[in-house]
Structures are given as structure tokens and as C-alpha cells.
Amino acid sequence: MSEIALVSSPFVGLEKAQEGKKYVNDLTTLNLGPTHPATHGIFQNILTMDGETIIDAEQTVGYIHRAFEKIAERRPFYQITTLTDRMNYCSSPINNMGWHMTVEKLLGIEVPKRAQYIRVIMMELARIADHIICNSILAVDTGALTGFLYVMQWREHIYEIYEEMCGARLTTNMGRFGGMERDLSKEAIRKINVLLDDFPAVLLEFEGLVKRNRIFMDRTIDVGAISGERALNYGFTGPNLRAAGIDYDVRAMNPYSSYEDFDFEIPVGTKGDTYDRFLVRGEEMWQSLKIIKQALNNLPEGSYHADAPHYYLPDKKEVYSNMEALIYHFKIVMGEIDAPVGEVYHSVEGGNGELGFYLVSDGGRAPYRLKFRRPCYIYYQAFPEMIKGSTLSDAIVTMSSMNVIAGELDV
Amino acid sequence: MTNEQIAQDLIAQFGEDNIFGIVENYGILNVTTTTDTIVPLMHYLYQHPTFKFQFLTDLGGIHFPDVPSHEFGVIYHLHSLENNVRLIIKLYVSRENIVVPTITGLYACANWMEREAFDFYGIIFSGHPKLERILNAEDMDYHPLRKEYPLEDATRQDKIDALFGR
């Protein structure tokens, strides 16, 4: 290929990329998205390409921005739970619990051990569901559909457990301030036990199909790599940061909901490439199973919710027979109960990393300000740096392995 | 390394005029600073041999329309991963001059966080490489998280905030 002299281009991005450089081919601008079957969500990337090689990329975000932070300023606290569902919709229980814990911190509610353990079980199930999607779709993006179908069945099973716990599947609205809305039912325990017994074999089968697969390894090793130092500077958290070799996990560093009671390991990678992210997520699923097993075996006796009548919806039977319960029910549902003045930051380990809630309350019925720290939004900034110099197909795989969820990205 | 030590150290380094409003909220130290101090303060905390606040967890704007000359605020959440200590730094500016220096030179992740604060509150981060709207449409002419922007559709008469106690 001979070098072609470049003429000035009408595209701003191109001119910037071409400053003082010579490329093999004429640079082209490629518009990837906003709707593209390979990006799993509404993401637009304007890529500047030199033949097959990506020179520069610019992401456009905000396609499904729904102004959650503004809506939250007029909603009673309990109605905000439904907003958190719609952030990372692959693992909504984690978002719900994170929000509940933030408000409990503000209200000073002590949650009983049993409720904390049930929460841990639900959060770890959500983490498995989240990682199943990310890893299996990464495999699909590299051309392996079979494994995806195997594990997707088990995501369905996890959704059935959600259904058993809260009646919903995707946007769960699970739990209440002070605990859970209902105890673990016999059916839920049976289903969790089925998962613990049968899922490991399926996960092993999936890993057997993909993990040491030559094609998969060729497509992912050294693709979309980022160093630990850069990852920290870009605010990475969660599996993506751990794949780069930094063992920061909110569950271990700032334990919440009794995570300190459980014995689990935090897998870390070395290179921060797509393959490491895949391995870290894969191993985290095993660790989650371990945590669920421990929580279920050591499930403490007691109440599944705190005694906080001002904030916890009373039992329906009570509402129909007891005057006080009726009053509390009415006041809670109408959002008539004021929260104390205060500023709280609480974070949980979401499917993608540190999911933080910064809540400023002025003593009213709704937050004065609520800021969500969404891990996706923060680490997606690094995408151009990670794909520079690689090919378009590598960019797709990199994006897939970063697990960028549109709902969390845009709130 | 306790919150008190950090506060003392910062006051000794930058003076009481630049580090004030020291409170502890649920175990996290909150300090308030000034626009002139924020960048040196961030660099100082980053390079400090023991503190090592090298992780920017989050950055967000806030609006207090009733506080004269301190209407807008920027809240920085720092985390020292080595010591596992969090720190919140606040900074207030007046409505007339909503300019805050950028910290994108230190933290790459501050780029979109600052753009978001600009988008929603109109806080101008001087020196930012590309201060444009990010989540909202480019042609919007208001900053929606400001308190004066109505919570409900402004054309509706049946949903007056005052009637609902907001």
C-alpha cells in the first residue's frame, strides 16, 4: 500500500486526527449506532478510521436520558426505588437495596440480620444475572451462540426467584426501607437451592465452551486493554477495574448489609483486557454462589424487617383491623412523612462497580438533591482510549465486555 | 489517619480562609473550600505521601437559590483507596460568576462529570477541554436541575407545586 497525501477534510474530527500525521489510507468517518445490532443498546460512536484501524472515537450519550435526578426531587423517598430499577436493569435488586440502605442510613434504621442476609442473597443473585448477560453476550459477539442459550435459561430461573420475592421480574422494586416486604418463601428457598445445585454444572459447561476456545481467546486477549493506573484515573470500579489488577471491591472495603460475615475472594486480572474482564466476571459468579450458599445456610432467625412504623408499610391485615396501622399506611403511601435533615453518601458494589447515592435532604418529603454515581457513565469515558489502534470488530467486543448498560449510562 | 488529622493538615497547609465548614457526616469528612484553592488542594491531596486521595469517586453540582452569593455548589467525592478513607470537598460560587476551575488535568474521569454539572446547572468549568451538553439535547437553552426550573410541566395548571407541599 502506498502512502496517500491527505487533503484537508470538511470533518472536524478528521482534521484533528490528521494533524501532522500520515496515514496509509484516506481517513473515513464511520457512524456506529445509535441503533446497531452489535452494540446492545442505544449507543452512538463516531469513529475516525484509517482503513480498518480506528484512529479516534467519540461517543454520544444521553439517548435514553429520563431526568431521574430531577424527578427524584419531587417524589417521596419510597417512590424513588422504582427509578433505581431502571438504571442498571440487568441487576435491579442491587440498585433497590443500595437506595434503601442510603435512606436507612439517613433515617438511622437498624435492619435485622435476617433481612440483611436475605438482601445479600438477592444482591448476589442479581450479580450472577448481570454477569451471565455480560459474559454470554460477549461470547455471542465473538460468534458463539450456544453457550449463551445454556446460561440464559438460568437467568430466567433467577428472574423466577425475583418473582417469588417481589412479584416482578425485571424492574423489581424489591425490599422496603427497613428490610424486605416479605420473608423468603419455601418456594423461593427451593428455587435458590435448585440454582445452587444445578447452575454450577451449566456454568462449567459454558466455561468449557468459551474459556479456552482458541477463537474466543484470539478475539479477546490483548483487546481493549487498559492499565491499572489509567483505569483508576478514569474512575473505573467493579469487574473492569479488578481486571486491570486493582482489588477494589466495595463489599470488602466498606462492608454493608453484613458482607463482613461471609467468606469470599475477590478475583483480579493482570492486563485489563477483554479476556481478563471475562475471567473476572466468570470467577465472580462462583464467588457469588459461595456467598449465597453461606447466607442460606446461616440464615438467622428473626424478623425480616425493622420495627420502623413511620417508614415501613404495615401488614395489610393490620391495616384493615388496626387504627394506627391504617394511619401509617395512609401517611406512607401519600408521602406525608418527612425525612430528617442530612447528607448521606452510601455506595454498594453494583454489577458494574461502585454504585453510589449522594442524598441531600432538607427535611422535606422528597430529597433536596439526589446524585447517582453510575459506574457505567464514568468508565465509558475511557472507551476511545481503549479502542484506539484496534479494528472495528475489536471495538464491538471491547464495548460488550465493559458491560455498558444504557439505562445506567444515561439515568 | 483520622478525619481530624486530615482537617488539621489541610488547615495548616491552606489556612482557615480556604478550608472551612468542616463537618463529619456519617463518618465522611466534609470540607468547604474556595475556587482559587480547589486545584492546588486536589493536587496536594493526590500527591500527599500518606493521604493519597487518588480516586475521584464522583463530582456533582447543587443549587441553593436562597443562599446569597453562594447559589451554586460543586461537590467532589474523593477516596483514598490505600487508607480506605473518603473525603467530600465542597465549593460554592455565586450566580453572577459561575466559574470553577477544571480538574480534568488531574483526573481523566472528571471530564464527563464536569460536563454533566455544566449540562444540568450551567456551572462553567474553566479550562475544560470540551464543555458541551452531554445528556440533554444540544439546543436546550436552560439548565434543568436548577431549582427555578419547574418540576412539572410548566403549562399544566392542575399540578401546582405549592398545593402538594413542595
Check CB contact under 8 Å for A232 and B57: no
Question: Residue A65: closest CA among chain B residues belongs to which residue?
Answer: B135
pLDDT of B141 over the 90 cut: no
Residues of A in contact with B81 (CB under 8 A): 232, 246, 248, 253
d(CA A168, CA B149): 34
pLDDT of B156 over the 70 cut: no
Nearest-Cα distance to chain B for A9, in Å, is: 21
Give Cα separations from A54 to A13, A35, A97, A326 (angstroms): 12, 20, 40, 63
Cell numbers of A56, please?
Answer: 479516534
Neighbours of A260 (CB within 10 A): 9
Check CB contact under 8 Å for B86 and A344: no
**How many CB pairs lie under 8 A apart between chains A and B?**
92
CB of A382 less than 8 A from some CB of B? yes
Which pLDDT score is estimated for A21? 62
Asked if B145 contacts B133 with a C-beta cutoff of 8 angstroms, the reply is no
* Higher-confidence position of B79 and A338: B79
* Higher-confidence position of B38 and A38: B38
Asked if A48 contacts A54 with a C-beta cutoff of 8 angstroms, the reply is yes
Residues of B in contact with A65 (CB under 8 A): 135-136
Q: DSSP per residue over B74-94, as a string?
A: EEEEEEETTTTEEEEEEEEE-
Cell numbers of B60, please?
Answer: 456533582
Crossing angle of helices A186-210 and A113-141, in 10° steps, is 30
pLDDT of B37 over the 80 cut: yes
Asked if A352 contacts A378 with a C-beta cutoff of 8 angstroms, the reply is no
Residues of B in contact with A232 (CB under 8 A): 54-55, 81
Nearest-Cα distance to chain B for A235, in Å, is: 5
pLDDT of B150 over the 80 cut: no
The pLDDT tens digits for B82-103 are 999 999 999 999 999 999 999 9
Chain A interface mutation, best of B3, B81, B135, B151, highest count of A Cβ atoms under 10 Å: B135
Which pLDDT score is estimated for A18? 54
Asked if A366 contacts B166 with a C-beta cutoff of 8 angstroms, the reply is yes
Q: DSSP per residue over B24-58, as a string?
A: EETTEEEEEE-TTTHHHHHHHHHH-TTT---EEEE
pTM of the predicted protein model: 0.90
Name residues whose C-beta falls within 8 Å of residue B144's C-beta, 6 or more positions apart in sequence.
A67, A70, B120, B136
Nearest-Cα distance to chain B for A199, in Å, is: 35
Check CB contact under 8 Å for B86 and A253: no
CA A113, A116, A117, A118 torsion-angle sign: positive
In degrees and rounded to multiples of 5, residue A258 shows phi and psi of: 65, 25
Name residues whose C-beta falls within 8 Å of residue A366's C-beta, 6 or more positions apart in sequence.
A72, A73, A74, A75, A76, A77, A335, B166
Residues of A in contact with B83 (CB under 8 A): none
d(CA B119, CA B121): 6
Check CB contact under 8 Å for B77 and A345: yes
The pLDDT tens digits for A352-367 are 999 999 999 998 888 9
Nearest-Cα distance to chain A for B50, in Å, is: 18
Buried b (16+ CB within 10 A) or exposed e, A53-79: bbbbbebebbbebebbbbbbbbbbbbe
Cell numbers of A288, please?
Answer: 457469588
pLDDT of B109 over the 80 cut: yes
Residues of A in contact with B137 (CB under 8 A): 62
What percent of chain B shows pLDDT beyond 90? Answer: 70
Which pLDDT score is estimated for A411? 84
Residues of B in contact with A357 (CB under 8 A): none
Residues of B in contact with A360 (CB under 8 A): 62
> In the beta sheet, which residues pair with residue A358?
A345, A371
A233, A342, A358 ranked by CB distance to B58: nearest = A358
In degrees and rounded to multiples of 5, residue A54 shows phi and psi of: -85, 125
d(CA A174, CA A115): 12
d(CA B41, CA B18): 10
Residues of A in contact with B116 (CB under 8 A): 377
Instruction: Give residue for cell 451538553.
Output: B133
Name residues whose C-beta falls within 8 Å of residue B148's C-beta, 6 or more positions apart in sequence.
B65
d(CA B112, CA B93): 20
How much is the ipTM here?
0.90
Which pLDDT score is estimated for B160? 64
Closest CA to B110 of A25, A55, A232, A92: A232
| Range B132-151 average pLDDT | 87
Check CB contact under 8 Å for A70 and B165: no
Check CB contact under 8 Å for B135 and A62: yes
d(CA A292, CA A264): 10
Nearest-Cα distance to chain B for A365, in Å, is: 8
Residues of A in contact with B22 (CB under 8 A): none
A62, A246, A347 ranked by CB distance to B136: nearest = A62
B88, B151, B165 ranked by CB distance to A365: nearest = B165
Check CB contact under 8 Å for A62 and B111: no
Question: Residue A357: closest CA among chain B residues belongs to which residue?
Answer: B58
pLDDT of B73 over the 90 cut: yes
* Higher-confidence position of B70 and A336: B70
Low-confidence residues in chain A, pLDDT < 70: 1-24
Check CB contact under 8 Å for B134 and A345: no
